[in-house]
Chain A
């Protein structure tokens, strides 16, 4: 099973600043990596797939990069609605696995 390790566990950021979230895979997942956003009491929402393709309706301030084992989700100029938990997920191998999440909180 591929293990995804997200860092940091919690990221404190001021509104308007940039946030950089990391996801590391225990073995290569090529570009088969997605990012999701989850707000309290809500279902997750797809942000990025294929490591760098934004899902429909996702603002351009969200961008994904990386391949192989190292991936990054960058949120430029954080808005109030961006404070949430972010998960990465690999779909290169079965079982599909998620990282443990990074909580982006208001500084």
Chain B
């Protein structure tokens, strides 16, 4: 069974940093591109970032470019999202997602990040 388990969310002050993790199991993690998608409270889904299967290539939404860094450790089947210079508008549930061929085939349960003073 495919499992994606996010952790690391919480309350952080504006300008602060947070690192999210996503532990994967039940599939050949190192073969898949992975993404982060976020959802602000009561709002829709927004793609944040993607990483290729070996971690050599990343891509970011303009809204987080230069502030977020997406990485992976295929030996540990784990993703990381380092989030710096956080803003109130980054408040959201962050989902790690498996790429099934452009679409998102499996989703984690999400971790809530709240940016507030």
Contacts and interface: CB of A to CB of B under 8 A. Distances in A.
Contact of B101 (A49, A95, A97, A101): A49
Interface of B: 44-47, 59, 61-62, 95, 100-110
A96 B100 contact: no
Contact of B45 (A50, A87, A91): A87
Secondary structure dominating the interface of A: loop
Interface stretch (A20-28, A38-46, A75-83): A38-46
Contacts of B109: 42-43
Given A43-B110, A94-B59, A89 B44 contact: no
A73 interface: no
A34 interface: yes
B59 A100 contact: no
Contact of B104 (A32, A36, A95, A101): A36
